[in-house]
Amino acid sequence: MPTPCWIDTHCHLDAPEFAADGLAVRETARAAGVGHCVLVAVQRSNWRVVRDLAHATGDSYALGIHPLFTPQAQEGDIAALRAMLVQWRDDPHLVAVGEIGLDFFVPALTTPSARARQQWFYAQQVQLARELGLPVIVHVRQSSDALLKVLRATPVAGGIAHAFNGSWQQAQAFIGLGFKLGFGGAMTYERALRLRDLARRLPLDSLVLETDAPDMLPQWLYRTAAERAAGQPQGRNSSLELPRIAQALADLRGIRAQTLAEATGANARQVLQGLPAWGR
């Protein structure tokens, strides 16, 4: 039986948590079967860093302005993003505009002015993706309906709803717009009943796998406040955890890991068309 080859469609290898050993962690994950990763940028200052990392590791990348970084972003960053996307449009490692989106969960971002700022940056980046024929990787946190409204008004070449946690109806709406739904560590928590039900029942051809490393810890890495106070360090998520996250999803669906690897890999390549044919 072949060893499953996985695609991590969302990770942040440039994060400070990987400053000391990021390249080594990436190679360890590759040896564990994670054949390909999509490295996702979050702000102007890390666009070139993410691109250089993707070239160094043989992975793919996406460029964008994350909603959490819109307070410090400048309107001129949109023009800079457009210039970089145009400059690197023929780079086979560039696969999407992202991470973009809306976050209506973080209190500081829920004031009327903060929401309006998020929505402006999001709409501008969706328009860029439409102009350049690129898919988008969208951050979805208590914001599905607002995200969908813009995508209906400005259709793009599909994309990924990262860390999807909406309703069944919202899932169907994203799928109808040509999106795949990203599932990762949050699904591994036994108390995440609604999310696990979605992971179990959604069409297999709508799912992709992700880690959001170093964030979105799977259950086995999470430490409670009491455990941290007792000296147990909080774990660091990485692409190395993807095979175990994938096995949790395969178990939920009652399918073989190889079947899941083939399906989610094909789904990722369908929506991010620059990914290598076999995820390696």
- Say if residue 5's pLDDT is above 90: yes
The CATH number of domain 6-271 is 2.60.210.10: no
Q: How far is CA 255 from CA 180, 190, 240, in A?
A: 19, 19, 21
In this structure, of 11-20, 108-117, 225-234, the range with the lowest mean pLDDT score is 225-234
Q: Which two tokens stand for residue 273?
A: 């068309």
User: Which residues fall within 8 angstroms of residue 121, CB to CB, at 6 or more apart?
Assistant: 65, 67, 70, 73, 78, 100
pTM confidence score:
0.96
pLDDT for position 279? 44
pLDDT at res. 273: 84
C-alpha 67/C-alpha 118 separation (Å) is 6
**What is the distance between the alpha carbons of residues 86 and 266, in angstroms, rounded to a whole number?**
27
The backbone torsions φ and ψ at residue 37, rounded to the nearest 5 degrees and listed phi first, read -130, 150
Give the mean pLDDT of the chain. Answer: 96
pLDDT tens sequence across 180-195? 999 999 999 999 999 9
Mean pLDDT along residues 195-212: 98
pLDDT tens-place string over residues 71-88: 999 999 999 999 999 999
Kindly tell me if the per-residue pLDDT of 1 is higher than 90.
Answer: no
Average pLDDT over residues 106-110: 92
Length of the chain: 280
Decide: 199 and 252 in contact? Cβ < 8 Å.
Answer: yes
